Chain A
Amino acid sequence: MTTIARREFLKAAALSAGAATLTVGAVRSFIPQARAGDVLAPKHDKLPVIDGNFSSYPPFEKWSSWREMSGNDWKRGGLLRHDVRVHDHMLVPTICNNCEAVCGLTAWVDKETLTVRKFMGNPLHTGSQGRNCAKGYAVQSQMYDPDRIPFPLKRAPGSKRGEGKWVRTTWDEALATIGGKMRETLTKGDAFSKKAIMHHVGRPNEIGFTPRVWASLGQDCQNSHTNICSASGRLASLLWVNDDRSSPDWENARLILLVSSHAADAGHYFQQSAGQIARARKKGAKLVVLDPRLSNSAGIADLWIPCWPGSEAAIHLAIAGRLIREKRYDRAFVKTWWNWQDLLDDKAELELLRDRGFLSKLPTGGTFEDFEALLVDLYGRYSLEWAAEEARVPVQKLQKLYEYVVYAGDRITSFYWRSTAAGNRGGWMSSGRTGILLLSLTGNFGGVGALGVEEGRILPIGGKGGAATTGETPAKVNEWNELSWPPEWPLASYELSFLLPHLLSDEEWQKRWRDKGLSVPSKLAVWIPRQYNPVWINPDGFRWIEVLRDEKKVELTFNPSPMWSETNWFMDYILPVGISGERHDQHSEPTNTEAWTGFRQPVLRVALEKMGWTPKDPARATLEAHMKAGLGEIWEENELWINLLFHHVDPDGKLGIRQFWESRANPGKPVTIPEYYDAVFGQLVGLKKAALEAAEKKDKTATTPLDRSLAAFAKRFPCYDLMRDRGAWTEKVDVYKIHEEELHVDDAKKSIKVKAPQFWAAGVEYPTASVKTDARTRQLYVETPEGRHNIGVVAEDGKWTTGFGTPSRKMEFYARWMKDWGWPEYAIPIYPRTEEQRKQMVHVVSQVHHSYMTEPNAFALNPIFRLSYNIHTRGGNSKWLMEISQNHNPIWMATADAKRLGFARGEPVRVRVVDTLSGKEAGYFVAQCQPTEGMAPGVLACSHHAGRWRLMNDIAIPGFEQPLHALRLAAPRAEMHEEGATKHLSYVEGIKPFDVAKTKEFGDRGWPFSQMNGDLDNITWDGLSGVWQNAVHHPHPDPVSGMHCWHQKVLLEKAAPGDRIGDLKVDIGATFATYQAWRDQLCRPAPGPGGLRRPEHLKRPWVAITREAYKMPTKA
Chain B
Amino acid sequence: MDARARSGLYAFFSRIFVRELDDAAVEALSGPLGRELLPELQGTDEPALARDPERRVAVLDADFVSLTIVNLVPYESFYRRNDAMVEGGVTNPVAQFLKSYGFETDLAQARALASDHVGIELETMAILCAHEAEAAERPDVAYAAHIRGVQRSFLSEHLLAWAPMYFFAVERCAHTTLYREAARVAMRFVASDYEALCAEVTP
| Residue positions of A touching B, CB distance < 8 A | 2-6, 8-31, 50-51, 53-54, 67-69, 74, 77-79, 81, 84, 86
Contacts and interface: CB of A to CB of B under 8 A. Distances in A.
Contact of B113 (A13, A14, A24, A81): A81
Interface in B163-203: 188-189, 191-193, 195-196, 199
Nearest to B120: A26
Contact of A86 (B33, B108, B192, B193): B108
Contacts of B2: 13
B155 interface: no
A13 B196 CA distance: 14
A316 B152 CA distance: 58
B15 A16 contact: no
A4 B88 contact: no
A360 B117 CA distance: 82
Contacts of A26: 18, 105-107, 109-110, 112, 117, 119-120, 123
B28 interface: yes
Given A24-B110, A26-B110, A67-B108, 11 more contacts: A2-B196, A4-B188, A9-B9, A12-B36, A13-B1, A13-B2, A15-B32, A16-B8, A26-B105, A27-B105, A68-B108
Given A19-B28, A20-B126, A28 B9 contact: no
A894 B13 CA distance: 67
Contacts of A22: 11-12, 14-15, 24-25, 28
Given A21-B11, A28-B103, A78-B88, A8 B33 contact: no
Contacts of A17: 4-5, 8
Contact of B36 (A15, A21, A23, A67): A15
A78 B89 CA distance: 11
B86 interface: yes
A932 to B, nearest CB: 35
Contacts of A16: 4-5, 7-9, 12, 33
B56 to A, nearest CB: 17
A69 B107 CA distance: 9
Nearest to A51: B102
A3 to B, nearest CB: 7
A12 B103 contact: no
A54 B102 contact: yes
Interface string B76-105: 000000000110110000000010001111
Given A3-B195, A30-B102, A23 B108 contact: no
Contact of B85 (A6, A24, A78): A78
Given A50-B102, A74-B89, A77-B113, A19 B33 contact: yes
Contacts of B86: 77-79
A682 to B, nearest CB: 37
A9 B109 CA distance: 29
A18 B123 CA distance: 14
B107 to A, nearest CB: 7
B123 A27 contact: yes
B124 interface: yes
Contacts of A24: 14-15, 18-19, 109-110, 119, 123
A19 B8 contact: yes
Contacts of B189: 9
Contacts of B148: none
B6 interface: yes
A13 B2 CA distance: 8
20 contacts: A6-B193, A8-B188, A8-B192, A15-B36, A16-B7, A16-B9, A16-B12, A17-B5, A19-B9, A19-B11, A19-B28, A20-B4, A22-B11, A22-B24, A22-B28, A27-B120, A27-B124, A28-B104, A29-B103, A77-B88
Nearest to B6: A13
Contacts of B8: 13, 16-20
Interface residues of B, number: 54
Interchain residue pairs A-B with the least CB separation, the first 7: A16-B8, A19-B8, A26-B110, A54-B102, A13-B5, A22-B15, A4-B192
Contact of A12 (B33, B98, B113, B191): B33
Contacts of A14: 5
B109 to A, nearest CB: 5
A1016 B40 CA distance: 61
A27 B103 contact: yes
A26 B111 CA distance: 9
A2 B119 CA distance: 26
Interface in B10-52: 11-12, 14-15, 18-19, 24-25, 28, 32-33, 36-37
Contact of B123 (A4, A8, A23, A50): A23
A895 to B, nearest CB: 40
Given A12-B37, A16-B33, A4 B195 contact: yes
Contact of B33 (A15, A50, A81): A15
B130 interface: yes
A563 B109 CA distance: 41
A956 B108 CA distance: 47
Contacts of B193: 6
A20 B102 CA distance: 19
A28 B106 contact: yes
A53 B109 CA distance: 23
Q: By CB atoms of chain B within 10 A, which of A29, A51, A53, A67 has the most?
A: A29
B127 interface: yes
A930 B191 CA distance: 63
A10 B1 contact: yes
A265 B108 CA distance: 38
Nearest to A11: B36
A538 to B, nearest CB: 44
Contacts of A84: 107-108, 111
Contacts of B106: 25-28
A74 B87 CA distance: 11
Contacts of A30: 102-104
Contact of A9 (B32, B108, B192): B192
A2 B194 CA distance: 10
Contacts of B32: 15
A86 B103 CA distance: 20
Nearest to A79: B86
A20 to B, nearest CB: 5
B14 to A, nearest CB: 5
Contacts of B6: 13
B5 A23 contact: no
Contacts of A2: 192, 195-196, 199
A561 to B, nearest CB: 38
A338 B77 CA distance: 66
Interface centre among A12, A13, A67, A69 (most CB of B within 10 A): A12
B131 to A, nearest CB: 8
Given A27-B123, A30-B104, A6 B1 contact: yes
A68 B105 CA distance: 10
A18 B110 CA distance: 20
B98 A27 contact: yes
Contacts of B191: 3-4
Nearest to A55: B102
Nearest to B131: A29
Nearest to B112: A26
A424 B18 CA distance: 67
Could you say which of A2, A6, A30, A51 has the most chain B C-beta atoms within 10 Å of its C-beta? A6
Contacts of A13: 1-2, 5-6, 8-9
Given A22-B28, A23-B15, A77-B88, A12 B9 contact: yes
Contacts of B102: 29-31, 50-51, 53-54
A24 B119 CA distance: 9
A82 to B, nearest CB: 12
A78 B192 CA distance: 33
Nearest to A14: B5
B15 A20 contact: no
B40 to A, nearest CB: 14
A236 B12 CA distance: 69
Nearest to A83: B111
B97 to A, nearest CB: 11
